[in-house]
Amino acid sequence: MGKDSEFYKNKSKQQKLKLRELILQLPKPAVDFIHSKEQTTQPSTLISYCYDLLTFFRFLESSNPTITGMDIKKIEYSVLDKITPDDLEEYQRYLELNVIGEQHENGKKAIARKMSPLRSMYKYLLQREFVSKDPTQLVALPKLKKDKNIVRMNNYEVQAILEAIDNGNCYTSERQRKYNQKTRGRDLAILTLMLNTGIRVSECNGLDLNDVDFIVNSLTIVRKGGGQDIIYFNDDIAETLKDYINGEREYINPVEGHESALFYSLQGKRISIDAIENLVKKYAKMVVPNKKITPHKLRSTYGTALYRETGDIRLVADVLGHENINTTIDYYAAIEDEHKKQARNAVNFKNKDK
């Protein structure tokens, strides 16, 4: 159950193996930095760090004349000590758009994220006196504009998307309708659960059947950071889950090793994160075509609705599993902005009747 399930044990093992594989491709300065983070940082985050640092070192190997053609594993501290702010500004331009060799294009947010592990590595190396200076501190990061226009669905849109799944009225062909009948209960259960609890797509993907407790209507989930949590749901959600568990799920012939999963693909395997993302986008495109709805937007929809109903930002942070309440405050700033707009009409000193 929860983080002790075979699914999460195997997931953790695979992440550790992937991390070791990536570490073998990095030069010693980066390896030292990654090792320094292993006891305080999740393997999934370190894997992301490794990919970003490999991108940086490959850039150096292809653009810096002093190390062109060098095996990046042989890059020493002395090389990093010679990197200048000009080099890093060129690297940011490389991240923004590159059409030669390793082709890619990144927006400002992605560039800032990819610079983050590089800045952290230099900070570590400077503290340990492996380098004499930190050029990352002399380079401006892309300025990110906070967007208060959080994409979410209103009550009408939520009902429309659930009814579309339940009734199958969003399909235009007989083939689509037949396919929908095979997965209607599962898809309805997944979207109902995500819209009414705010769980992440990864938390939904990791659910086992025995994580559901219908006695108290609760779910045992594993949060993004690896911690275990219990969330609760109402009787309507319970009925939708029971319909799926006692209906479609009963007829699934699970593949070996996937017997405990709550949600299955048609192949009898635990439904993947990609499959959940795709089904959310599929239904949303049919019913709410003017909004780009993803699983995270379902989470936004639930969080904003909960905040509107309760006005308790700490409760929202707790239910959504935000470790830092500032994440919640920033995320739902749009609602406070709506409140401010409402306030402009709340007081009118020219009204003599008041």
**Amino acid at site 249:** R
How far lies 252's CA from each of 1, 140, 262, in Å? Answer: 21, 54, 11
Q: What would the two tokens of residue 149 be? A: 């226009």
In a domain, 84, yes or no: yes
283 and 312 assigned to the same domain: yes
In a domain, 145, yes or no: no
209 and 306 assigned to the same domain: yes
202 and 176 assigned to the same domain: yes
Q: Which of 72, 103, 138 is the last residue of a domain?
A: 138
- The CATH number given to whatever domain includes residue 52 is 1.10.150.130
Are 204 and 263 within 8 A, CB to CB?
yes
Average pLDDT estimate for 10-24: 96
In a domain, 2, yes or no: no
In a domain, 101, yes or no: yes
Domain of residue 313: give its range. Answer: 155-342
How far lies 131's CA from each of 23, 58, 123, 175, in Å? Answer: 21, 20, 9, 63
CA distance 82 to 99: 27
Residue 331: the pLDDT is 61
Of residues 344 and 243, more confidently modeled: 243
CA distance 64 to 50: 20
Q: What would the two tokens of residue 346 be? A: 């709340």
In a domain, 144, yes or no: no
Q: Where are the extended beta strands (E) located within the chain?
A: 97-98, 104-105, 212-213, 218-222, 228-232
121 and 193 assigned to the same domain: no
Pick the closest to residue 221 from 8, 25, 23, 48 (CA basis).
8
In the chain, pLDDT over 90 holds for what percent of residues? 66
In a domain, 351, yes or no: no
Q: Which of 138, 171, 187 is the last residue of a domain?
A: 138
Residue 169: the pLDDT is 62
103 and 243 assigned to the same domain: no
Strands of 228-232's sheet in order across: 212-213, 218-222, 228-232
- pLDDT tens digits for 256-293? 999 999 999 999 999 999 999 999 998 998 888 888 89
238 and 337 assigned to the same domain: yes
CA distance 37 to 256: 36
Domain count of the chain? 2
CB atoms under 10 Å from CB of 128, counted, come to: 13
Q: Which of 138, 168, 201 is the last residue of a domain?
A: 138
CA distance 239 to 236: 5
Torsion over CA: 319, 200, 271, 180 (sign): positive
97 and 216 assigned to the same domain: no
In a domain, 280, yes or no: yes
Residue 318: the pLDDT is 92
CA distance 135 to 120: 12
Average pLDDT estimate for 322-347: 67
Residue 149: the pLDDT is 61
175 and 29 assigned to the same domain: no
Prediction pTM value: 0.83
- The CATH number given to whatever domain includes residue 200 is 1.10.443.10
Average pLDDT estimate for 107-132: 96
CA distance 309 to 315: 11
CA distance 203 to 95: 31
284 and 161 assigned to the same domain: yes
Pick the closest to residue 71 from 81, 60, 87, 80 (CA basis).
60
In a domain, 6, yes or no: no
Q: Is the pLDDT of residue 205 over 90?
A: yes
Of residues 326 and 116, more confidently modeled: 116
Confidence tier at 336 by pLDDT (50, 70, 90) = low
**Amino acid at site 103:** Q
161 and 90 assigned to the same domain: no
Torsion over CA: 299, 160, 208, 182 (sign): negative
> What is the crossing angle of helices 155-167 and 174-197, to 10°?
140
125 and 164 assigned to the same domain: no
285 and 213 assigned to the same domain: yes
Which residues, at least 6 apart from 125, have a Cβ–Cβ distance to it below 8 Å?
A: 29, 32, 33, 77, 80, 131, 134
